[in-house]
Amino acid sequence: MAETSPIEQRPEEISPEELERRDFEKKWFNPESASTNPENTSLEMLGYLKSDSLDKRKMRLFTIACCRNIWHLIKDKRSREAVEVADRFIEGKATSQEVEDALEGAIDATYDAINVTGSERQENMLSSWYSTRAAECPLERLNPDYSSIYSKPAYELQSVIMNTMTAVSPLGSSLNEINNKARVSEAMFQADCLRDIFGNPFAIEQPVIDPTWLTANGGAVPRLAETIYNERSFKDMVVLWDALEEAGCTNEEIRKHCQGDGQHVRGCWVIDLILGR
């Protein structure tokens, strides 16, 4: 039997661009910092994204999700209103004037958080300041004055990541185990949100929705997806997969996302894909 030459045995050469894509894809799902410095996981992932081309709606939904995850720390009603207004603006239910007023109120709340009484502990003061500062982030790029100052799209994402993480552990992770766990937990939540909202930005082919899935069974799939989005009932993602499967969907990426243990928030790529957002 004739031997195969070394040249014939050589695997097909992979382009530098493909090697880079594979490397980014691997790190997107398994960031290096997750095992070495987990509190930096979400910031590492943000660095892999080409933020200039990111969907602005999805970016804003990420900032809102981060704020809602520390809702118990955002105690000033002006800061909470800022997040709510940003949420409504995305849905076309708030005006530009409401955005301007809410941002002004959020900025005032941030300044007021510093001027606490002398009886307040430093940790509480810092937590209050960073949480109110985080609440400004969803609105900043909606305001023309702020958009000109913070022109890079990644600014609002990096800002909300840093502010929410510092809010849960204002005196740093090195002080005690509780602080460290709080920062790591926040970073893991943020990492899950990035994957939930932006999916796999390094995939060769992105999943697509077959139009027949949307009309099957009287439109059960889009109707359920709309309910999940509006009511934030993301526990029903597994039910959504059942409806998709019954409608004929066999896409493995969609199945894994619906049935997986990861975090889901508004902006979830599967929900958006179904609803055409």
Average pLDDT value over all residues in the chain: 84
What pLDDT sits at residue 52? 65
What pLDDT sits at residue 268? 97
Contact partners, residue 177, CB within 8 Å, separation at least 6: none
Q: Give the gyration radius of the chain's Cα atoms.
A: 22
Distance CA 255, CA 238 (A): 9
Q: Is 167 helix (H, G, I), strand (E, B) or coil?
A: helix
What pLDDT sits at residue 267? 96
Distance CA 159, CA 171 (A): 18
Q: CB atoms < 10 A from the CB of 43, how many?
A: 19
What pLDDT sits at residue 154? 65
What pLDDT sits at residue 11? 54
Question: How do residues 126-162 score in pLDDT, each as one tens digit?
Answer: 677 788 888 888 876 655 444 433 445 567 788 888 8
What pLDDT sits at residue 148? 39
What pLDDT sits at residue 150? 41
Long-range CB pairs of 12-20, under 8 A, 24+ apart, other chains included: none
What pLDDT sits at residue 248? 97
Contact partners, residue 146, CB within 8 Å, separation at least 6: 103, 139, 140
Q: Are 83 and 66 in contact (CB under 8 A)?
A: no
Distance CA 153, CA 220 (A): 36
What pLDDT sits at residue 233? 96
Distance CA 229, CA 252 (A): 22
DSSP 95-146: -HHHHHHHHHHHHHHHHHHHS--TTS-HHHHHHHHHHHHHHHHHHHTTSHHH
Could you tell me where the DSSP H helices lie in the chain? Answer: 6-9, 16-29, 33-36, 41-48, 56-69, 77-90, 96-114, 122-140, 144-149, 154-168, 177-198, 211-215, 220-231, 237-247, 252-259, 269-275
Residues of the chain with pLDDT under 70: 1-12, 51-52, 116-126, 140-154, 170-179
How many residues are there in the chain?
277
pTM confidence score: 0.85
Burial 114-145 (b: 16+ CB within 10 A, else e): eeeeeeeeeeebbbbbbbbbbbbbbbbbbbee
Contact partners, residue 277, CB within 8 Å, separation at least 6: 57, 271
